[in-house]
A and B are shown apart, each in its own frame.
Chain A
């Protein structure tokens, strides 16, 4: 074997080793989720369970109001993502293609908000929402996230990369601004929009600190908060905890598998513009 082949082999070995390290937590989670209670708590740990305990998923699902959490998570994720896309598309269009007084200053103000850590906003936002009696409602979970300037900024870049001549052509051909936005710009910016949507779905689904703070009953809790709460009930029943974790992780895994191309391109782009 020549030197080049050996180094190539070495490269793959390193990558495979790293890949296994990345996957082990997921495999260990699944493995535990399929063990019986006593198998999970043996020393040394059993690697392959005698019988696959699929029932663990059902048990975990019923051990806490996971159906309710699940529905809440879906509602919050769907509405947040759709709403945020709508506000983003409109604002990005204004910043990219319209001329108006105050555009620069408004843009700069919005840009500075990107620098502020979200954690700092939690207290005043909590107070605002409690003044409107919105704590422990969907409103509290959704409304603050209906706009993201990061998304606006990203989509604006994409919109600006679409040549103005297309806009003029559409004008001459008889399409108005509104038609142009939804039938030309939006289809042309589809990859960016899908990436933004996917990232927002993931963000929203996995979000923890905010839902933790603004919900105080099972009725309103989302999956991550519910799961975190469940740990106290489940105690040392790790097979159930792992089954519940799997249930939370799988939907985003599907989103990731189907939209991987867009998500990775979106993350890459966010790095390149920075």
Chain B
């Protein structure tokens, strides 16, 4: 039937098709979202008995007076600022090169994307080994350049850079693929017309390609920021289950994990989850507002 308007029967059928997904989503996504918000206001809560002792802003007060929380927030922001710009520039550059060549382009794509499909745990272990202060490959290489051994993973000064370098390496391929998709969507005729109009390569990129690519650049930026906010696995493995030397890599999600899994402070953990949610919400909203105003869509 070419049904243009729903009927009771078609509604029943529609919901039958949706039921399996909806059930899981309700129990494990929609309900938990509401529950997290609720829980963040329960100051004395025993989840086994489901007894709520008190409701209030206590969790948020404790959270905001916890120096570790502010440290986690600061570290997370440093991490995002360290990763995102470099990752965007590198992946955009490589995508432009890959878009330009033909021979072996597929092979390079495969190589650059490889880290994305590998287990974060396994590859973090490999990087732990690369960063090893005595036997690690990186220090061996630096020694040849005359740079003294750096205690990457045990020196609070170097722990964050180590985490950033590895994260950039792992996420590069994903961003490259997105940029390539954006580039392949740009009609090549623009480039040719620009060349006819007398633009050189840099000018073509600066005035034609880059503006046309801006929606994708923006998307990649937002996705990178959001995934940066959520970093956990890498920290956990790279620093052997600790938040780094002197808590140098204590991130927001790691803080949540600590409060929840090692300290059993559900309310506090839930409250930090709510903070994470609002951080991501802010990024998403800025994205939305900014892209409505400034992004030129083809």
Contact = CB atoms under 8 A, between A and B. Distances in A.
Chain A in direct contact with chain B (Cβ < 8 angstroms): yes
Sorting the interface of chain B by its residue count into under 10, 10 to 19, 20 to 34 or 35 or more gives 35 or more
B58 to A, nearest CB: 17
A173 interface: no
Interface in A255-274: 255-257, 260, 263-264, 267-269, 271-272, 274
B269 interface: yes
Contact of A127 (B30, B33, B47, B284): B47
B94 A18 contact: yes
B32 A152 contact: no
B229 interface: yes
B79 interface: no
A100 B36 contact: no
B39 A123 contact: yes
A23 B111 contact: yes
B143 to A, nearest CB: 7
B294 interface: no
Given A99-B3, A100-B10, A245-B122, A22 B172 contact: yes
Contact of B28 (A93, A125, A242): A125
Best-buried of B15, B18, B35, B143 by chain A (most CB within 10 Å): B18
A14 interface: yes
A98 B14 contact: yes
Contacts of A213: 257, 261
B118 A271 contact: no
A70 to B, nearest CB: 13
Nearest to A206: B119
Interface in B152-192: 169, 172-174, 177-178, 180-182, 184-185
Contacts, number: 290
Nearest to A18: B94
Given A25-B123, A241-B125, A115 B27 contact: no
Nearest to B219: A274
B25 A147 contact: yes
Contact of B101 (A11, A23, A100, A128): A11
Contacts of B261: 213
Contacts of A117: 226, 229-230, 273, 276-277, 280
A28 B101 contact: no
Contacts of A171: 1
Contacts of B241: 228
Contact of B13 (A28, A42, A100): A100
A267 B118 CA distance: 16
A24 interface: yes
A140 B176 CA distance: 35
Interface in A104-152: 106, 109-110, 113, 115-128, 130, 143-144, 146-147, 149, 152
A88 B134 CA distance: 50
Contacts of B178: 267-268, 271
Contact of B169 (A22, A94, A126): A22
Contact of B20 (A44, A90, A118, A255): A90
B127 interface: yes
B114 interface: yes
A155 B92 CA distance: 28
Given A22-B114, A147-B24, A28 B260 contact: no
15 contacts: A15-B94, A26-B114, A28-B137, A90-B21, A91-B18, A116-B277, A117-B280, A120-B274, A123-B273, A144-B28, A206-B119, A238-B129, A252-B117, A268-B177, A271-B178
Please provide the 6 A-B residue pairs with the shortest distance between their CB atoms, ordered closest to farther: A100-B14, A268-B181, A147-B24, A124-B32, A120-B273, A94-B17
Interface of A: 8, 11-12, 14-15, 18-19, 21-26, 28-29, 32, 40-45, 86-88, 90-91, 93-95, 98-103, 106, 109-110, 113, 115-128, 130, 143-144, 146-147, 149, 152, 164, 168, 171, 177, 202, 205-206, 208-209, 212-213, 223-225, 227-228, 231-232, 238, 241-242, 244-246, 248-249, 252-253, 255-257, 260, 263-264, 267-269, 271-272, 274
Interface of B: 1-6, 8, 10-15, 17-18, 20-25, 27-33, 35-36, 39, 47, 94, 97-98, 100-101, 104, 108-115, 117-123, 125-127, 129-130, 132, 134-135, 137, 140, 143, 169, 172-174, 177-178, 180-182, 184-185, 216, 219-220, 223, 226, 229-230, 232-233, 236-237, 240-241, 253, 256-257, 260-261, 266, 269-270, 273-274, 276-277, 280-281, 284
